[in-house]
């Protein structure tokens, strides 16, 4: 399997987008909803399956689509082709504040494992599949369940992360403990497991959950400072109560203001 060779440029700081330059007959595949803009002359095509290649048959299409259902993604992906002469550009945007990370799969022996919702787009020919966990603890308590997403091939792929991204190189036997939601992805030789925090006070009052992700080298790990689940939780916690009439916001009264609101009904 040979992926298309694409050139790219990433723009922005907090809300980034990636601009991909396509030579004639080159293509890129992306998750539905990530498209931002494209030059005139680029052909857009909906793909049933994982987008790694033209469908070899109905059964292969069904299997590819089934993999995407298991990861919680749409049945379909979108491919963008440059069928004209001359270079054309197409851009894809990050869905929330953070960073877009280019992944050269050839540098990682053709495989990279990431969270289910981290994938943004990739060169045509890259396979977007599933990675099953073989460990019960990881499957039950790892936050991502038994299934993660895997990117395979010899091309470039792009994943997105919340907040700030940090890349860690782990040596043989070196261990890194991470909040389960803060993992973006890692290379195939990383040993990933779940570890109980331990201690009654930590468990009941720690506020950090009950489990860590334990990552053991050798390999490369990508970590994000603000996973989307944490961002969404903070937004929901700060949302106005009582139909958007939270008049106590920012005041000393706080929630007591809701009780004194004349519009409340008992």
In a domain, 255, yes or no: no
What digits encode the pLDDT tens for the residues 6-33? Answer: 899 999 888 899 999 999 999 999 987 8
Instruction: Please state, in angstroms and rounded to a whole number, the distance separating the CA atoms of residues 143 and 141.
Output: 6
The domain in which residue 88 lies consists of: 7-233
In a domain, 174, yes or no: yes
Please name the residue ranges forming H helices in the chain: 58-70, 136-141, 200-205, 228-238, 256-260
Which of 57-61, 108-112, 147-151, 209-213 is the most confident on average? 108-112
pLDDT score at 94: 86
**Helix, strand and coil percent figures for the chain, each rounded to 5:** 20, 40, 40
In a domain, 256, yes or no: no
pLDDT score at 42: 93
pLDDT score at 85: 87
What mean pLDDT comes out for the span 168-189?
A: 91
Instruction: Please state, in angstroms and rounded to a whole number, the distance separating the CA atoms of residues 173 and 104.
Output: 24
CB count in 10 Å sphere of residue 87: 13
In a domain, 253, yes or no: no
pLDDT score at 55: 46
**pLDDT for 207 beyond 50:** no
What mean pLDDT comes out for the span 220-238?
A: 79
CB count in 10 Å sphere of residue 189: 15
What mean pLDDT comes out for the span 240-245?
A: 60
| Average pLDDT taken over every residue of the chain | 77
Specify the CATH number for the domain of residue 56. Answer: 3.60.160.10
pLDDT score at 167: 93
In a domain, 194, yes or no: yes
Q: Report the predicted TM-score, pTM, of the whole model to 2 decimal places.
A: 0.75
pLDDT score at 40: 92
In a domain, 48, yes or no: yes
Whether a cis peptide bond, with omega within 30° of 0, leads into 180 is: no
Instruction: Please state, in angstroms and rounded to a whole number, the distance separating the CA atoms of residues 240 and 197.
Output: 34
Number of separate domains in the chain: 1
Q: Give me 133's structure tokens.
A: 């966990």
Are residues 190 and 216 in contact, defined by beta-carbon separation less than 8 angstroms?
A: yes
What mean pLDDT comes out for the span 50-70?
A: 54
In a domain, 180, yes or no: yes
Calculate Rg over the CA atoms of the chain.
Answer: 22
In a domain, 57, yes or no: yes
Instruction: Please state, in angstroms and rounded to a whole number, the distance separating the CA atoms of residues 185 and 120.
Output: 13
What digits encode the pLDDT tens for the residues 87-131? Answer: 999 999 988 888 999 999 999 999 999 987 889 999 998 988 887
**pLDDT for 46 beyond 80:** yes
Strand 219-224's sheet: what is its strand order?
127-132, 147-152, 111-114, 183-187, 219-224, 165-170
Q: In Å, how far from its chain's centre is CA 192?
A: 17
Apex 194 CA angle, 135 and 188, nearest 5 = 65
Q: How confident is the model at residue 202 (pLDDT cuts 50, 70, 90)?
A: very low
pLDDT score at 251: 46
What digits encode the pLDDT tens for the residues 120-163? Answer: 999 998 988 887 665 545 545 545 445 788 899 989 999 998 88
pLDDT score at 259: 44
């Amino acid at each position: 399997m040979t992926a298309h060779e694409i050139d790219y440029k990433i723009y922005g700081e907090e809300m980034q987008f990636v601009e991909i330059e396509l030579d004639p007959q080159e293509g890129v595949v992306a998750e539905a909803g990530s498209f931002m803009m494209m030059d005139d002359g680029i052909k857009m095509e909906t793909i049933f399956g994982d987008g790694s290649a033209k469908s070899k048959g109905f059964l292969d299409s069904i299997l590819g689509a089934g993999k995407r259902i298991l990861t919680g993604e749409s049945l379909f992906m979108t491919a963008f082709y440059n069928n004209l002469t001359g270079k054309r550009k197409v851009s894809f945007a990050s869905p929330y504040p953070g960073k877009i990370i280019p992944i050269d799969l050839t540098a990682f022996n053709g495989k990279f494992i990431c969270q289910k919702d981290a994938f943004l787009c990739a060169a045509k020919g890259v396979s977007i599949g599933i990675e099953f966990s073989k460990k019960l603890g990881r499957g039950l308590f790892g936050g991502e369940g038994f299934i993660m997403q895997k990117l395979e091939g010899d091309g470039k792929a792009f994943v997105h992360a919340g907040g700030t991204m940090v890349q860690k190189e782990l040596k043989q036997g070196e261990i890194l403990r991470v909040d389960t939601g803060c993992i973006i992805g890692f290379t195939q030789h990383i040993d990933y497991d779940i570890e109980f925090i331990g201690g009654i006070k930590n468990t009941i009052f720690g506020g950090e959950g009950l489990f860590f992700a334990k990552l053991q080298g050798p390999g490369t790990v990508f970590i994000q400072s603000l996973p989307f689940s944490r961002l969404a939780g903070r937004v929901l916690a700060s949302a106005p109560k009582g139909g958007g009439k939270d008049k106590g916001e920012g005041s000393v009264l706080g929630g007591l203001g809701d009780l004194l609101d004349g519009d409340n009904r008992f």
